[in-house]
Structure 1
């Protein structure tokens, strides 16, 4: 069903679904033995669904209460918890023993995920991290990686990428972002390829900022491959692709110049890089020498400038004024970087005029 236009009825269908869940809960309570293991899992799943329903209807307190009940039931079923909560906070634990039943661990991973997501929406990303790392620990301890727990863990790494980004732990955020993108490819299920491409471009930008040219280039090629499989994608993602490629080549010029000024001759890439996607594209580059001469710099410049200019077809001044000005500023900066490599003063002046 579509959401009613009247704002007063925005949660109407949530309330209808909630009523059905409550009815199922009442029916479950009428069973002769609600303590058997099947009933315990069913009860936990019902409270998980109710918790999500309340949270989506912006009733966070009631949502958390149901998630806690679901968690308690799954701890009882499993025979052990992966996280302990006290007034001082919560800590991940590593249970042992032969009585642990991991057969429904994907349900507990879902519960930990949702509790982590809830704490993140409340602004407590440190506490959110605890629950999400408990999910990850549970996933890692499970010998049989079923499709259900793989799907649940895909959400775990996605949430962890967001949490680490909020915590300003950018290296960890990028690692989990890459894991998320890889998980989406490996599940072979439908996913938003435009969003995947956009996230991959952001990841490329992060690696570029860390001067990891091998992985920045690899993410660019991965994004180009995935978006090429989408028919009729919008022009914005194409323009963003052009900008990302242009910035990649500009960064090669900037970093090479800085190293040259510092007296370094070290290549920009020297050695194998870990981490690849499940895509039919070449592995990350393992060699990339630094740019030393004006002639070499000019060739890199010719790869960057047309991409910036191509992006202006979408980011035109009339429709996208702010972005248009940003790209123009990038073009000016690109010229300035190239000028650094030119020793002749008159040619420098000429290039400044063109800039």
Structure 2
């Protein structure tokens, strides 16, 4: 069949397949597209019978791949894989520039033999004949294996996709060497629908442009599937690498290009680079996402998620340098070996540049303000009434922002004011939320509020023990009252496990809740000891209360086994329950001697 006529029909069928069907039958376009592709394949077969050629055989192969992939999408796996394996058989012959006698009854190549092959059989010796068909077949197999439930199949997916990647890279090197006037994907005119703009290409250049376009679109699918496979394997760095290159190629060839999805993925990629502390690259990805994200009909899923991502970027950066300031930064900067696969996105945005370290309070405040602006923009989209959990999460992010600024502040009164702002951001939510609808969120908020108040209590105690000029430490009574308030949040947290019928906490609770519940009991016991007394008898009685609390934590740990993470804390509770009576005896002697 004439190549132009074939491509015109093929592209129209692909477009039909990608449209969304009616609500009562969303797969209707795919079934219609399959019927049309089967008819197109039959036409090419008839043409092949009259005049066998490599061109016709490659067209038949492409039809087989489409039909097989189509069947996989409609959950007809056995039939779909068979079609793809028949296409594989065609590539075995086509790559050697051999023609099949029969293109109707094609044998499906065994999957086991396909998986034994780790090296591309398309070669420079045969001028990489059938290389695009080779890529498409392996992409389809990668898609099939990556969607299987069996864990082993993920490795099979990785293998066939890596073979496709090897084929592309070998072909690309050969293409550069063989065609001095070769074109790059960035030079190729592509229409907004992701098809080649043939009208703007000269007839002489068209064959080379077609090859480059088809290879790079096929390679984009390879990269996309590899990103999914490495994500499933929890290999974050490799998944991010392939995601980055997928996004880069999608910008060039507009393949299955959704601006919203592309921008969202760029924002996620930014978070990866932030996690590696390369904030220059992270910011480049953020700007790319902001540049591409549609602005029409803005909502939380478009400009809202962009604003939140920018806020998180500045929060992450401030938090990292606050950890550096406290000499407890998690690890070093972005590994040098990752530099080898970085590419700037081909957009009108600033290339990545190293960002200066945050060392002073002024540096920190500048970063804080940037984050705060973005978080407040995000809150305009994630409103409390419609996006309750997200709204609260952003408020919690702002609270963390204050926490990251605190290590740069030396004035303890201002530190207390920052803690108060943190608390004010989320304090009302636990009472406002319906616990039955949001049990986990309410518990997390109560636990977080306990922690925030506890940090503020520590500053009050520092002022009490080592007052600085101009400070007015709280009285014993006020500090003890504040300790009561802190304990109140942990008690409320524990009380959420009370059974409605008995109004009592059961002896054993669900395994996932045990560690935070135990830690709340431990914090209650430790907080009991952070009180001030002038009378030894009062301190003696307070220690008795602390012992009871530690014993309660020990009893809970005995009836609610936890993982090894809690072992040290359980041992500490036992030691405290043993040592505190000794402290009581000392106080008893002091009290009686005073009397």
TM interval, shorter chain, is 0.7 to 0.9
Partner in structure 2 of residue 136 of structure 1: 165
Secondary structure at 2:116 match in 1: strand
Judge conservation of contact 1:84–1:93 (CA < 8 Å) in 2.
no
Q: Which runs of 5+ in 2 are unaligned?
A: 1-15, 98-108, 176-210, 423-595
Judge conservation of contact 2:399–2:421 (CA < 8 Å) in 1.
no
Q: Considering only CA atoms, is the larger Rg found in Structure 1 or Structure 2?
A: 2
Partner in structure 1 of residue 21 of structure 2: 3
Kindly indicate whether residue 70 of structure 2 is the aligned counterpart of residue 41 of structure 1.
Answer: no
Judge conservation of contact 1:48–1:67 (CA < 8 Å) in 2.
yes
* Alignment map for 1:148-163 (pairs within 5 Å): 148-163=214-229
Partner in structure 2 of residue 337 of structure 1: 404
* Alignment map for 1:85-96 (pairs within 5 Å): 86=112, 89-95=115-121
* Alignment map for 1:1-355 (pairs within 5 Å): 3-7=21-25, 11-26=27-42, 32=49, 36-79=53-96, 86=112, 89-95=115-121, 99-123=125-149, 124-142=153-171, 143-144=174-175, 146-187=212-253, 191-227=257-293, 230-236=294-300, 237-262=302-327, 274-286=342-354, 288-355=355-422
Separation (CA, whole Å) in 2 of partners of 1:108 and 1:87: 15
Separation (CA, whole Å) in 1 of partners of 2:325 and 2:124: 61
Secondary structure at 1:86 match in 2: helix
Q: Which runs of 5+ in 1 are unaligned?
A: none
Shift of residue 91 of structure 1? 4.0
Change (3 A) 1:101 1:302: same
TM-score after normalising by structure 1: 0.86
Judge conservation of contact 1:214–1:269 (CA < 8 Å) in 2.
no
Change (3 A) 1:216 1:29: closer
Identify which range, 319-328 or 214-223, moves more after superposition.
214-223
Judge conservation of contact 1:194–1:233 (CA < 8 Å) in 2.
no
Shift of residue 312 of structure 1? 0.9
Separation (CA, whole Å) in 2 of partners of 1:16 and 1:77: 29
Judge conservation of contact 1:201–1:223 (CA < 8 Å) in 2.
yes
Shift of residue 341 of structure 1? 1.7
Separation (CA, whole Å) in 1 of partners of 2:372 and 2:395: 11
Change (3 A) 1:308 1:132: same
Change (3 A) 1:22 1:241: closer
The count of residues paired between Structure 1 and Structure 2 equals: 347
Identify which range, 93-102 or 131-140, moves more after superposition.
93-102
Q: CA RMSD in A?
A: 3.1
Shift of residue 98 of structure 1? 6.5
TM-score after normalising by structure 2: 0.53
